[in-house]
Amino acid sequence: MPSVGLGLLGCADIAIRKVLPALTPESGMRLVAVASRTPEKAKEAAARFNTRAVTGYQELLTDPEVEAVYIPLPPALRAPWIRAALDAGKHVFAEKPLTTNAQETAALAARASASGLTLMENYMFVHHAQHEYVRTLLSEGAIGELRTMQAAFTIPPRPPTDHRLDTALGGGALLDGAGYPIRAAQYFLGDDLTVLGASLRRSAPDAVDTAGAALLRTATGITAHITFGMEHFYVSRYQLLGTKGQITVDHAFTTPADHRPVIRMDHQNHQEQRTLTPDNQCANTLTRFATAVRTGTPTDIATSVAQSRIVEAIGNAAAR
Q: How far is CA 34 from CA 14, 115, 144, in A?
A: 14, 24, 50
* Catalytic residue list: 96
Beta strands in the chain (DSSP E): 4-9, 29-36, 52-55, 68-71, 91-94, 119-121, 146-154, 194-202, 209-217, 223-229, 235-242, 246-250, 262-266, 271-275
Amino acid letter at 36? S
- What are the structural domains, with CATH classification, of the chain? 4-124+293-300 (3.40.50.720), 125-282+309-319 (3.30.360.10)
Q: pLDDT tier at 2 (50, 70, 90 boundaries)?
A: confident
What pLDDT is recorded for position 203? 87
Rounded to 10 degrees, the C-alpha dihedral 183/185/187/189 comes to -150
Closest CA to 288 of 301, 297, 276: 297
**Could you read off the pLDDT of 147-186 as tens digits, one per residue?**
999 999 999 999 999 999 999 999 999 999 999 999 999 9
What pLDDT is recorded for position 1? 75
**Could you read off the pLDDT of 79-112 as tens digits, one per residue?**
999 999 999 999 999 999 999 999 999 999 999 9
Beta strands in 111-222 (DSSP E): 119-121, 146-154, 194-202, 209-217
**Could you read off the pLDDT of 12-66 as tens digits, one per residue?**
999 999 999 999 989 999 999 999 999 999 999 999 999 999 999 999 999 999 9
- Rounded to two decimals, the pTM is 0.96
